[in-house]
Structure 1
Amino acid sequence: MPMEIGDKDDSVEMLKNIHISSHDDDRDDDADPEEVEDLMNDDDDDDDEDDDEVQKPVTLGFVEKPKNEWSLLRQLFPSKAGGAPAWLDPDNLPSGRSRLCDICEQPLQFLLQVYAPTSDRESTFHRTLYLFTCPSMSCLLRDQHEQWKRPAVNASRSVKVFRCQLPRDNPFYLSEPPRHDGSDKPLGSGAPLCNWCGTWKGDKICGSCREARYCSEKHQAMHWRSGHKVMCQNSSRNAGSSSADDHKPASRSLWPEHEIVNEDEAEYDVDVSADLDNTNCLVSRNQMDDSINSLVKSFQGDSDRRSWGNFQERVARAPEQVLRYCRNVCSKPLWPISSGQPSAADIPNCSYCGKPRCFEFQVLPQLLYFFGVKNDVDSLDWATIAVYSCEESCDGAASYKEEFAWVQVSSPSQVVP
């Protein structure tokens, strides 16, 4: 996502572009920017807040299939969604209960990661945030209820965020920028990972072949039932060789892997683009116009409907966006629902340095469309997931520091089962 590395070093400048790529989009440059603005002018106070948010530069994230089989390897510092994470520090992974859903106590599933280094200090030359969630909708609903607890650090959560950062000179990667030609290699292979999910450290070993590794008894049992029962007796691999670099996860329930590419929101017209009629878009222009007009007619003081209308209007500029990034102490998410917004007191301070957390990015429900998640009653769904991270991006003993995520489900009428 947006990077603040200085421009004086050519090699650093090359590194700045590691995770920034173009998202092709033909836009209608003749759109009237006042048309939608007038449509949404129902409340002066709301307009002032919206204008403040619009003035802050926002980077939009889009997903696309990786160009090469090596494009999303950790030594290329990718931003990616689905599949297994590309751990920045491959040795000192999150462990214990931090990798479990606090509600069902099952291993969390990788959702996405954002590579977002800053120029604040040398220790943030490389910086990545990782977002995980339990795939159970009932756990997500419970999570939404639990996040209101104060202090929030004692809440049981099914959505967790981890921040990892490294200086330019570190034991895992060369200090020179990657060549992006398939020849880049990391320094060392990293910790052995779970053969089933490819996500968490495999600290349990198959008792039969003594080679396959697992992060939990559940994943061991799932791998056994899926075919490892037959395969492990004939395995010829050396014990302890199952790292992120030499095997793919056996699980077929991981979300499809995509690269996240980025564009500035300012590049998109303020009106709904004419190319929404493109069959590759999530919604057609007529569908979006009808949806917005229907909501506008029924606003009349309903803050949730007004918030949803503003959300729809902003997202309609680039309807396939799955992520909105704007790390700034004054920035805030684009909330779909007014009544589900947190106050400043609901966002806990950093548990490592005690400094406040600020908004960094939010994930939109469009990502579930690209993951192929069905629109069933029990399917995973959210209105947005907003991620907050330490303002100082502090250092400390832990390689992966847990940050905070605020969840809004798709409808405020949904309740904890």
Structure 2
Amino acid sequence: MAGSMRGDSVEEFKGLRITSLDDEEEEEQDIDIDEEDEDEGETDYTVLGFVKKPKNPHSLLRHFFPSKAGGVPAWLDPVNLPLGRSFLCDICGEPLQFMLQVYAPEDVEYAFHRTLFVFICTSMVCLRIDQHEQWKRHPDKPSRSVKVFRCQLPRDNPFYSSEPPKKDDKPPGSEVSSCTWCGTWRGIKQCSSCKIALYCSEKHKVKHSQLGHDYDCQRVRFASESIDSSLSNSGTISSELQKVVACTTLWPELEVIQEDEDEFDTRMSDDNGGVSTLVSGNRTDDTIMSLMKEFEGDDERKSWLSFEERIAWAPEQVLRYCKTPDAKPLWPMSSGRPSKDGIPKCSHCSGPLRFEFQILPQLLYYFHVRNDKDSLDWATIAVYTCEASCDSSVAYKEEYAWVQLS
């Protein structure tokens, strides 16, 4: 989900592209928009994200600049990962779980490559507290269970060639070792016994130990003693040994693919097949119109109906991406929306943040998350990023997510 790519050779880079509406379309839309429609975000040019199992998991490696959900992040900068408490839930202190990443380069040299990473705590208790905390007007130390990190690189950088990768290319070798338990964050704590397993936190070290690593550890030590000492001394370990120490609890890895939303509108105007829908692109169904009148005094139901009506164009969408200036999320509910003053400034340059994309709860279905009262759930998660995509010495700059619960 990207701005237009720069240079002929770079057009091959994988990413979701967004093109601007032409002036005539923008002018026509401006005539028909009233303030309420603007609040619903119905006129923004939007790219929809869908997930599918990748035909070739190799295509989701970091040097192909993927947009993906689940699995482990394909870190853009594979060395300078977030450290300190930035990768922990501010509420329970557990390491956050990787949800998805979006490759979205900008038309500036310092953000030639640009990826946004979204992480979440899997505790619904923490998410409810997070929603309450975000209403506090820009506290010095916000407590968040959903975090977004922006990483960007110029075309000339130490990690990637300036030319697009070829199909069978292997990722460049420069990267840090990741946590054995979650595979997500940097491994900074070593198992004192096998000297192989690494952990991002003491909690993941304890969890791995409780679920059988102590026994596996003995097997690793025995196997390590039996392999060639030169391999052992160089720190190399066979794939069999890596399988012994690997123990992850990740969501399934899925590729994010994109479609322009207006294409679904056009398809439904041409025929009624393919996607179940409540309305066509050019006319409002009489039943929906009567329901809208019935709900006229109920802002919450009216907002939800408008949301469902729009989502029904493509019910399997999990992500809505929009870089139109002054774009707004498609809010499911009228309550629980931030005011203009409710969105903080960029924590790095103090400039304004803009809405860039939102994540829909349909993603949880593809992650096989149970649908019960204690399971993770949300109405939408809206991601706001620095309008200037400011550059700084921090490799992973934290952005802002607004959570609206159902």
TM-score by length of 1: 0.82
Structure 1: 5+ residue stretches without partners: 22-40, 278-283, 411-417
User: Does 2:155 correspond to 1:157?
Assistant: no
Q: Which amino acid aligns with 2:80?
A: N
Judge conservation of contact 1:118–1:124 (CA < 8 Å) in 2: yes
Q: Distance in 1 between matches of 2:137 and 2:67?
A: 32
Counting only pairs closer than 5 Å after superposition, residues 122-271 of structure 1 correspond to structure 2 as 122-152=109-139, 154-180=141-167, 183-235=168-220, 236=224, 238=232, 250-269=246-265
Q: Distance in 1 between matches of 2:150 and 2:386?
A: 9
Question: 1:313/1:11 Cα in 2 relative to 1: closer, same or farther (>3 Å)?
Answer: same
Give the match's secondary structure for 1:362: strand
Q: Distance in 1 between matches of 2:248 and 2:178?
A: 16
Q: Please name the residue that 1:64 is paired with.
A: 52
Of 286, 299, 305, the match for 1:303: 299
Question: 1:372/1:234 Cα in 2 relative to 1: closer, same or farther (>3 Å)?
Answer: same
Q: Which amino acid aligns with 1:5?
A: M
Deviation track 1:342-364 (CA, whole Å, cap 9, x = no partner) reads 01111110011110000010000
Counting only pairs closer than 5 Å after superposition, residues 113-124 of structure 1 correspond to structure 2 as 113-119=101-107, 121-124=108-111
Question: 1:109/1:274 Cα in 2 relative to 1: closer, same or farther (>3 Å)?
Answer: same
Q: Distance in 2 between matches of 1:294 and 1:132?
A: 41
Q: Please name the residue that 1:353 is paired with.
A: 349
Q: Distance in 2 between matches of 1:390 and 1:247?
A: 39
The CA RMSD measured in Å over matched residues stands at 2.8
Q: Distance in 2 between matches of 1:137 and 1:86?
A: 26
Q: Which amino acid aligns with 1:226?
A: L
Deviation track 1:103-141 (CA, whole Å, cap 9, x = no partner) reads 00100000000000011x211110000000000001000
Q: Please name the residue that 1:377 is paired with.
A: 373
Deviation track 1:316-356 (CA, whole Å, cap 9, x = no partner) reads 00110000001244111000011111011111100111100
Question: 1:117/1:291 Cα in 2 relative to 1: closer, same or farther (>3 Å)?
Answer: farther
Deviation for aligned residue 1:163: 0.2
Give the match's secondary structure for 1:268: helix
Judge conservation of contact 1:200–1:215 (CA < 8 Å) in 2: yes
Q: Which amino acid aligns with 1:192?
A: S
Judge conservation of contact 2:61–2:171 (CA < 8 Å) in 1: no
User: Does 2:340 correspond to 1:344?
Assistant: yes
Deviation for aligned residue 1:224: 2.0
Question: 1:361/1:152 Cα in 2 relative to 1: closer, same or farther (>3 Å)?
Answer: farther
Q: Please name the residue that 2:36 is paired with.
A: 46
Q: Please name the residue that 1:27 is paired with.
A: none
Judge conservation of contact 1:2–1:59 (CA < 8 Å) in 2: no
Q: Distance in 2 between matches of 1:350 and 1:330?
A: 16
Q: Please name the residue that 1:315 is paired with.
A: 311
Deviation for aligned residue 1:226: 2.8
Q: Please name the residue that 2:10 is paired with.
A: 12
Counting only pairs closer than 5 Å after superposition, residues 75-94 of structure 1 correspond to structure 2 as 75-94=63-82
Q: Distance in 1 between matches of 2:370 and 2:57?
A: 27
Structure 2: 5+ residue stretches without partners: 18-31, 225-230, 279-284
Deviation track 1:133-169 (CA, whole Å, cap 9, x = no partner) reads 0000010000000001111453200000000000111
Q: Please name the residue that 1:413 is paired with.
A: none
Give the match's secondary structure for 2:86: helix
Deviation track 1:235-272 (CA, whole Å, cap 9, x = no partner) reads 23858669xxx968934431111000001111112769
Question: 1:173/1:335 Cα in 2 relative to 1: closer, same or farther (>3 Å)?
Answer: same
Q: Which amino acid aligns with 2:105?
A: P
Number of residues of Structure 1 aligned to a counterpart in Structure 2: 372
Deviation for aligned residue 1:296: 3.4
Give the share of equivalent positions with the same residue, in percent.
59
Q: Distance in 2 between matches of 1:247 and 1:304?
A: 52
Q: Distance in 1 between matches of 2:296 and 2:138?
A: 35
Question: 1:124/1:290 Cα in 2 relative to 1: closer, same or farther (>3 Å)?
Answer: same
